[in-house]
Homo-oligomer: A and B are copies of this chain.
Amino acid sequence: MSARLDQLRSTTPLVQCLTNTVVTQFTANVLLAAGASPAMVDTPDEAGDFATVASGVLVNLGTPTAAMYQAMRAAVNGATATGTPWVLDPVACGGPATRSAVAAELALRHPTAIRGNPSEIRALAALVAGSPEDNVPGSGGATGGRGVDSTDAVESAEPAALALARATGAVIAVSGPRDLIISVPDSVPDSLPQVTWLTSGDPLMQRVVGTGCSLGALTAAYLGAENAGPAGHTPAAPDRHAAVVAAHAHAGAAGILAARTASAPGSFAVAWLDALDALTTDHLAELVGVNDH
């Protein structure tokens, strides 16, 4: 994780965000504080071309208009054409029908990573992987719960996450008190999955809008930096799983740092941005619990 933190800051990846209107400002500030560069290029006219030059792309379904769906498809086409890594955040998947259908459609377009809360991941897995332990949305199985709030525990979503990883080839990240990152090695579909549990963060992160959404953007930033290869070295093969883990460690460790100085949501949001900037590799080693298996 430490090498990747340095890599992010030395490469300043340019992250194109197609995200919801609630969190655009905060997401841009999170990227700037962490060491990346934001570009909110999200119109149907511009999104496709820009995705061919961006380092990474975030597609977040938070407040999807018809024009935004068009722009998202254009961005995915552009990213696919050039191999730009992109992250899908299927916000409230399992809730509104059209949104869930678009989430499923995009999940099958080979995103580099998919990040969501347990309810969203379970609902998306039911749609694209027909995972046996989950039913389709609305049938009493996985549900979108209360809008974007998850009503499920992260642990409960592990089988769905694995099914989703196998069905899409994406690295799957499930956010919660502990974060689960799961993937199956490229082109070895039946191989053993790589599973990482991260322990970090602070409960106040749930009291500030956009901490989850901006983690999706930070994941795209780390994936973009990963593609650039280690600074000063011949690029090694990018490790998508490790990049997603590093993004979650950065966000979570900053949450712990922020909670040292702030104990209420307004000042916590400010302190978290400061901590994203101040975070060192020593902090990562000290603050983040990692369990690979």
Contact = CB atoms under 8 A, between A and B. Distances in A.
A41 interface: yes
Contact of A43 (B32, B64, B270): B64
24 contacts: A21-B24, A22-B24, A24-B25, A25-B26, A25-B209, A25-B210, A28-B210, A33-B266, A39-B147, A39-B148, A41-B63, A42-B63, A43-B63, A45-B66, A45-B96, A45-B98, A46-B98, A50-B96, A65-B67, A66-B67, A264-B274, A264-B278, A266-B271, A266-B274
A208 B277 CA distance: 12
Contacts of A92: 41
B277 A146 contact: no
Contacts of A266: 29, 33, 269-274, 277
B147 A41 contact: yes
A269 B274 CA distance: 10
Interface of A: 14, 20-26, 28-29, 32-33, 37-43, 45-46, 49-50, 62-67, 92, 95-96, 98-99, 146-149, 206-210, 264-267, 269-274, 277-278
B272 A29 contact: no
A146 B14 contact: yes
Given A264-B273, A266-B270, A274-B265, A40 B20 contact: yes
A46 to B, nearest CB: 4
